[in-house]
Amino acid sequence: MSDKRKGLQNAIEELLPGCEHRDEMKNHSGDLFPKIEKYLEQMKKKSIEYIAHWNGKDQFEIETSYGNRIRVHSGAKTCSCRRWKLTGIPCAHVISGMYYCGYTPESYADECYKIQTYFKS
Ligand SMILES: [Zn+2]
């Protein structure tokens, strides 16, 4: 297991305690692990609170309801809240930007959270 993957796994275990079982996942129809999917759904709901301002190319400024500005760089896969880099899953700020562009947030989740990748390894 690579260091990057190990780091991601630790982050996700902290975020979503309890491991998935392979058998559970075999019957799962989505592309992502069920827990990741659930987390993403929560972030999607939260993203509605934000207003995305496009800064050109792959950069956004996300305005929160408190008037804070969060910077998202989708090309570099970074968000100034740092969650995206830490977990490999788009945070609510990123999703807000994705929706602005018409992209699907699922496709921005790290490859290691995709069930196909898991069964390949
Ligand atoms: Zn963020």
Q: What is the pLDDT of residues 17-58, one digit of tens each?
A: 554 555 555 667 788 988 899 999 999 999 999 999 999 889
* Amino acid found at 3: D
61 C-alpha to center of ligand 1: Å? 10
The pLDDT tens digits for 59-109 are 999 999 899 999 999 999 999 999 999 999 999 999 999 999 899 999 999
Residue 4 confidence class, pLDDT cut points 50, 70, 90: confident
Q: What is the DSSP string of 100-115?
A: HHT--GGGGS-GGGBH
pLDDT given at position 121: 61
52 C-alpha to center of ligand 1: Å? 12
With CA atoms as reference, report the closest residue to 96 among 37, 51, 65. 51
66 C-alpha to center of ligand 1: Å? 14
Q: Residues 109, 83: contact at Cβ < 8 Å?
A: no
Measuring CA to CA, how many Å separate 120 from each of 12, 25, 49? 20, 13, 37
96/60 Cα distance (integer angstroms): 9
Evaluate if residue 119 carries a pLDDT over 90.
Answer: no
26/29 Cα distance (integer angstroms): 8
Compute the average pLDDT of residues 112-118: 83
99 C-alpha to center of ligand 1: Å? 14
pLDDT given at position 29: 74
The answer for residues whose C-beta is within 8 angstroms of residue 24's C-beta and 6 or more apart is 34
pTM of the entire structure? Answer: 0.77
23 C-alpha to center of ligand 1: Å? 32
117 C-alpha to center of ligand 1: Å? 25
105 C-alpha to center of ligand 1: Å? 13
